[in-house]
């Protein structure tokens, strides 16, 4: 899938009501935000990502990268997904223009927030439902707080742009 296809037909778009974990990140570069949900399952004795979904108040590139990322992390363990960089998450879409690099980094940040928001020690069967608000706007109104498993992170602005 190339960038145009991912923009025209984003995958895994929307809230996941039965998610195990969720992460929300805002970009200080553009003010956009992305929220990403993760659901785990047991497979062959390993806890792997069953599915992921996202909402975005972001540009089309962020939507395309989030779409690709939610596809790429399926079947991976939490640790494997944590090792994926923004470049890896967007790699199938082709190289991003320099002014769009931060869009991919915002998606990577949301993925990390979601992955780190859920303890690896919690068995899938006993993981409680995620107490999150219904929309990304709720996360925006709660920005700066950590409520339940919702982890909101505002990334560092690169020194070269401050």
Q: Is 55 in the site for ligand FES (CB under 6 A)?
A: no
Of 105, 119, 97, 121, which is closest to residue 153 (Cα–Cα)? 105
Q: Is 32 in the site for ligand FES (CB under 6 A)?
A: yes
Nearer of residues 10 and 78 to ligand FES, judged by Cβ: 10
Query: Minimum CB separation from ligand FES for residue 89, in Å?
Result: 13
Cα separation, 39 vs 51, whole angstroms? 5
Q: What 3-state class would DSSP assign to 38?
A: strand
Query: Minimum CB separation from ligand FES for residue 3, in Å?
Result: 12
Cα separation, 149 vs 39, whole angstroms? 13
Task: Establish whether 103 is a catalytic residue.
Answer: yes
Among 13, 30, 122, 142, the residue binding ligand FES under the rule CB under 6 A is 30
Among 59, 101, 127, 140, the residue binding ligand FES under the rule CB under 6 A is 59
Beta-strand runs (E) in 10-124: 21-26, 33-43, 46-57
- CA distances to 34, 41, 105, 133 from 156, in Å: 16, 33, 11, 25
Q: Is 20 in the site for ligand FES (CB under 6 A)?
A: no
Task: Establish whether 59 is a catalytic residue.
Answer: no
Q: Is 58 in the site for ligand FES (CB under 6 A)?
A: yes
Q: Is 101 in the site for ligand FES (CB under 6 A)?
A: no
Q: Is 86 in the site for ligand FES (CB under 6 A)?
A: no
Q: Is 61 in the site for ligand FES (CB under 6 A)?
A: yes
Give, as one character, the DSSP assignment of residue 124. Answer: G
| Maximum Cα–Cα distance across the chain | 48
Give, as one character, the DSSP assignment of residue 77. Answer: B
The site for ligand FES (CB under 6 A) is made up of 27, 30, 32, 58-59, 61-62, 100, 103, 106
């Amino acid at each position: 899938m190339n960038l145009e296809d991912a923009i025209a037909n984003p995958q895994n778009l929307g809230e996941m009501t039965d998610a195990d974990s969720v992460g929300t990140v805002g970009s200080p570069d553009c003010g956009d935000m992305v929220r990403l949900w993760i659901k785990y399952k047991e497979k062959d004795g390993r806890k792997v990502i069953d599915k992921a979904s996202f909402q975005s108040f972001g540009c089309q590139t962020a939507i395309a990268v989030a779409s690709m990322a939610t596809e790429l992390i399926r079947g991976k363990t939490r640790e494997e997904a944590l090792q994926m960089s923004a470049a890896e998450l967007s790699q199938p879409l082709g190289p991003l223009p320099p002014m769009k690099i931060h869009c991919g980094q915002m998606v990577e940040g949301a993925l990390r927030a979601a992955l780190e928001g859920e303890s690896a020690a919690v068995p899938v069967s006993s993981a409680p439902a995620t107490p999150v608000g219904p929309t990304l706007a709720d996360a925006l109104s709660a920005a700066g707080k950590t409520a339940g498993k919702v982890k909101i992170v505002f990334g560092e602005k690169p020194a070269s742009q401050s």
